[in-house]
Chain A
């Protein structure tokens, strides 16, 4: 089990709303990122 939340998420790839695949770790690789897990859309 990775030691931090960011490590646990970094390797996961998810599609965005347009179908592009995004590796989560790339979001905060070079800048701080606020990441929010929604309960639902809307």
Chain B
């Protein structure tokens, strides 16, 4: 996501990330990656639960779609460095707004199942557009 930050900004969108863990973990991550966008901490999983994000389990490592997703993530240069306090919590990516408008939603089904940056970029409305996109 941080590699595409400039592309998102050039389309008039802002970025934000929500993670688990604590403030120390988040600050370390921010220092290591150099990201400037908001990094929010949801240690009680309130936001994760509000949108029904899933948890995986060890059996996911045996899934064919998981193997493909992990290969894709590795090919993109992603590496897992730390497990965190909820290693089975899966993520998601959304494009919202302006206002409470859902323009894109990708709910991860397994490890490494991430939204494609091109899909996120395509969901960002043109400046001045108020049309509702589909997810």
The reply to whether A41 and B25 form a contact with Cβ atoms under 8 Å apart is: yes
Interface range, B side: 35 or more
**If the complex has contacts A15-B40, A40-B19, are A35 and B96 also in contact, measured as CB distance less than 8 A?**
yes
Interface range, A side: 20 to 34
The reply to whether A40 and B23 form a contact with Cβ atoms under 8 Å apart is: no
Cα distance, A31 to B99, chains bound together (Å): 8
Overall SS of chain A's interface: mixed
B119 to chain A, nearest CB (A): 11
The reply to whether B50 and A14 form a contact with Cβ atoms under 8 Å apart is: no
Residue on B with the closest CB to A38? B19
The reply to whether B84 and A40 form a contact with Cβ atoms under 8 Å apart is: yes
Which A residues lie at the B interface, using CB under 8 A?
4-10, 12, 14-19, 22, 24-25, 27-42
| Pairs across A and B, CB under 8 Å, 10 listed | A5-B102, A27-B97, A29-B99, A31-B13, A32-B13, A35-B15, A40-B19, A41-B25, A41-B28, A42-B80
